[in-house]
Amino acid sequence: MGAETNLFIRDLRAGYDSLDILNGVDLDVPKGQFVALLGPNGAGKSTLLKTLYGMTTIKGGNIDWCGKNIAGYKSKSILGEGISFVPQGRCNFPVMTVDENLQMAAYSIRDARVKADRDYVYDLFPILKKRRATLAGNMSGGEQQLLEVAMAVLQRPKVLLVDEPSVGLSPAAIGIVFDELLRLHADGMTILLVEQNTKKAMEVAQRAVILRLGKVIWDGLPKDITHDELGELFLTGKMRGETEAVH
Ligand SMILES: Nc1ncnc2c1ncn2[C@@H]1O[C@H](COP(=O)(O)OP(=O)(O)OP(=O)(O)O)[C@@H](O)[C@H]1O
Ligand SMILES: [Mg+2]
């Protein structure tokens, strides 16, 4: 685990127009760490990732990235700063081939090195190389999820934000996607992963952060919280036996 922390989120408040969803989020993501962001439906997990990627209305607070406050930056600039985002749900171009999808992802940042970038991704994801001429929409859910991760990785990010990659996938496909995330992490990638499959997330992540009602209510090591305690926190915001919410 790298000692250097390069993403500091402080008192981040954000939402959609006049709707407030994040109510003062504090979170540090150290370089090279694999962090799972968990919490009940509607807690604001996707909103937090979208906010880091410049897709919501920021009401206050800081997103300090490598010494720069990037709160308020547009997505394209954030991508240029080395932060890539794999959104929740399918986000490929289904009637284009795998190769064309990767080409589109490469063009979104620069066009000079498209081929080199695709080759880089094919080395990382040999499964996609085999399917390069297949229409993305004709691939399995797991293969499409890998393609979407690959489209983000092609930008050569320093941090990967991934929202719910396991949704709708078979256990075998979930295994493949998570193995790929672990491999990217082993190669040095910093990962902030939102996941409903808490069991799987706790297996792969080095640290878990629980968000509820737009605030971080627990932040610690997966080994320091049981599955039951996690469920209790999701439901009530409190650990069993406590009268006050954690934090
Ligand atoms: N584009 C939007 N416009 C207005 N409100 C939104 C928008 N997207 C999300 N919300 C609202 O923001 C709140 C938080 O949603 P968000 O998607 O961040 O939750 P989540 O923790 O990711 O939940 P889930 O586990 O269901 O994916 C919800 O009340 C949701 O209805
Ligand atoms: Mg979500």
Residue type, 174: I
Does the C-beta of 160 come closer than 6 Å to ligand 1? no
Strand order in the sheet with 207-212: 83-86, 159-163, 190-194, 34-38, 207-212, 215-220
Does the C-beta of 101 come closer than 6 Å to ligand 1? no
Q: Domains of the chain, with CATH numbers?
A: 5-90+159-236 (3.40.50.300)
Does the C-beta of 42 come closer than 6 Å to ligand 1? yes
What mean pLDDT do residues 28-55 have? 97
Q: Which residue has the higher pLDDT, 180 or 1?
A: 180
Residue 220 alpha carbon to ligand 1 centre in Å? 24
pLDDT digits (tens, 9 = 90+) for 54-93: 999 999 999 999 999 999 999 999 999 999 999 988 889 9
What mean pLDDT do residues 5-20 have? 94
pLDDT digits (tens, 9 = 90+) for 78-132: 999 999 999 988 889 999 999 999 988 887 666 556 677 888 899 999 999 999 9
Task: Output the pLDDT for position 118.
Answer: 86
Task: Output the pLDDT for position 197.
Answer: 93
What is the average pLDDT score of the chain? 91
Q: What percent of the chain has pLDDT over 70?
A: 92
pTM for the full model?
0.93
Task: Output the pLDDT for position 1.
Answer: 40
**First CA to last CA across the chain, in angstroms?**
25
Residue nearest to atom 26 of ligand 1 (CA): 41
Question: Closest Cα partner for 145 from 123, 172, 113?
Answer: 172
Chain centroid to Cα 6, Å, comes to 16
Q: What are the E-state strand segments in 31-142?
A: 34-38, 57-65, 68-69, 83-86
Grade residue 41 by pLDDT with cuts at 50, 70 and 90.
very high
